[in-house]
């Protein structure tokens, strides 16, 4: 499966372009309607998918866990629990990406101890949510997987 193309980083202020100028004029405004809000949200998800390797990994694992849940005929509530925990990992990864972007914007690619703390804490939050999701998936998926393997052999 070919890897998606990388999204280029937003232009710097020196790269004046009418599109950038127009975006700057409206970037602080509230979305004009609900569809525009959804478009902005989708833009964020797309950005994370195209630029963040870990986000793609988490999506793949999420799809695998839910697919395996359905294959193993887990109860609807168990599939929902796996879906919720997987979704929370994706949410944490999106927040991590947002925090990293804001920190990079503020410190302008220079090292700062507090920038490191912010980025490390955000990454830690993703790690904790991923570990919890793995624990939940293991508790729900391993017993029926073992039963299936035993029944085959």
* CB burial string 120-148: b at 16+ within 10 A, e below: eebbebbeebbeebeebbeebbeebeeee
Distance set, CA 10 to CA 24, 33, 87 (Å): 12, 24, 27
CB atoms within 10 A of CB 50: 15
Radius of gyration (Cα) for the chain, nearest Å? 20
Is there a catalytic annotation at residue 93?
yes
Cβ neighbours for 4, distance < 8 A, ≥ 6 positions apart = 49, 50, 56
Candidate list 24, 78, 93, 108, residue with the active-site label: 93
Overall residue count recorded for the chain in this entry: 153
Catalytic residues: 93
């Amino acid at each position: 499966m070919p890897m998606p193309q990388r999204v280029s980083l937003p232009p710097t202020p020196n790269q004046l372009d009418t599109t950038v100028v127009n975006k700057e004029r409206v970037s602080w405004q509230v979305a004009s309607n609900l569809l525009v809000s959804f478009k902005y949200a989708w833009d964020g998800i797309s950005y994370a998918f195209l630029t963040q390797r870990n986000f793609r990994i988490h999506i793949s694992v999420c799809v695998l866990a839910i697919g395996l849940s359905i294959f193993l005929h887990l109860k609807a509530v168990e599939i929902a629990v796996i879906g919720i925990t997987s979704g929370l990992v994706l949410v944490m990864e999106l927040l991590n990406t947002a925090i990293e972007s804001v920190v990079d914007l503020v410190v302008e690619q220079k090292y700062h101890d507090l920038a490191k703390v912010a980025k490390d804490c955000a990454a830690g939050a993703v790690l904790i949510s991923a570990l919890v999701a793995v624990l939940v998936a293991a508790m729900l998926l391993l017993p029926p997987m073992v039963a299936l393997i035993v029944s085959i052999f």
